[in-house]
Amino acid sequence: MPEQQFAKVAYDIERSIKIALLNRDMTQKELAELIHANPQQLNRAIKGDMTPKSRELREQVARVLNL
């Protein structure tokens, strides 16, 4: 995937998660606690990190936030 497309997808995912958090009046820290994740690792996952752990966290976030 070209870098520009990857950046767009990462931005869209981050935006979707942040909107869902706002709609639920929830912070990233609260979300991290809910899914038993380190807040810093969750932030990296939301920002588009591609490690296996970040991918797993994004899947958990999608389930919790119904994305």
Pick from 2, 4, 18, 14: nearest CA to 48: 14
* Predicted TM-score of the model (pTM): 0.81
pLDDT tens profile 7-66: 888 888 899 999 999 999 999 999 999 999 999 999 999 998 889 999 999 999 999 998
Q: Cα(46)–Cα(13) distance, rounded to whole angstroms?
A: 7
Q: So what's the pLDDT on residue 1?
A: 56
Provide the residue ranges of all domains of the chain, joining segments of one domain with +: 26-66
Residue 23: exposed, middle, or buried by beta-carbon count in 10 A (0-12, 13-18, 19+)?
exposed
First to last CA, the chain: 23
Which residues make Cβ contacts (< 8 Å) with residue 40, sequence separation at least 6? none
Q: So what's the pLDDT on residue 8?
A: 86
